[in-house]
Amino acid sequence: MHELRQYCIRFNGQSALKWHMHLTKAFLSVIFSACTTLSWAEVTPTLNSDAIKKSFGSYGVEVLSQDDTTRIANLFSGDSESKICRTLAVTEFVLPMSPQLTEQHRAIRAGGSIGATLRAAGFSINKKLLIKTETPAGKAFLTLTADTVSLGAPLYTKVYALFAQNGDQEIPYAVIAEAYHPDHFPPTHEEVSDEPHLQASAQRALASLRAALVAEGSIKTPAA
């Protein structure tokens, strides 16, 4: 990591074209690491799960759909009989996964909350904001929120890169797109990046989120 930091610093004095060519040849995980060594990420002590539980008295995760690269999850308040979606989240995992996160990744894919699982393992959570926008609520979101949101209501939406930090080491984990119930106010983080490769992942995650929001009927698939 020290060598990568020095490498990034040396590039500061070179042309934007050479820097872009270097990034184009790198894997997404290397790009994530390079970004965090420049202190673009932000440590967020309060997680979205914390905010949901504090505001509504309970918190749970329901995996609606999942494959090797992507997870769609309902972060809800209430119990199994009265769930109200507070955040609909599409996660695009960074692959290949770091061996240091193998156990945590297994727990997350089994239905664990991402931030809470990483924090319980001793990691700090770093986030770097990629997109902030609004998305209209569709029929699927109305179903998930027990009709507490109107069709077409604007939903605060953001996409960010998430890193697991252990001391000075920052490990890329995922790009996550989230749409929020109008009554829910997630923790803020304002460290922003327009790095092209992260933006490409962000746009994919956002497109998947928008498709999920307007889906006809249930988002859940047989493979979930």
In the chain, where are the structural domains located?
40-213
CATH 3.40.1410.10 fits 40-213, yes or no: yes
* Model pLDDT for residues 191-216, shown as the tens digit of each residue: 777 777 788 899 999 999 999 998 86
Burial of 208 (0-12, 13-18, 19+ CB in 10 A): middle
Residues 6 or more apart whose CB falls under 8 angstroms from that of 120 comprise none
28-37 vs 2-11: helix axis angle to the nearest 10?
Answer: 80
Q: State the chain's mean pLDDT as an integer.
A: 81
Per-residue pLDDT tens digits for 56-94: 999 999 999 999 999 999 999 998 789 999 999 999 999
Q: Please tell me whether the peptide bond between 96 and the residue prior to it is cis, using omega within 30 degrees of 0.
A: yes
Task: Specify the pTM.
Answer: 0.78
Q: Contact, 73 vs 91, CB < 8 A?
A: yes
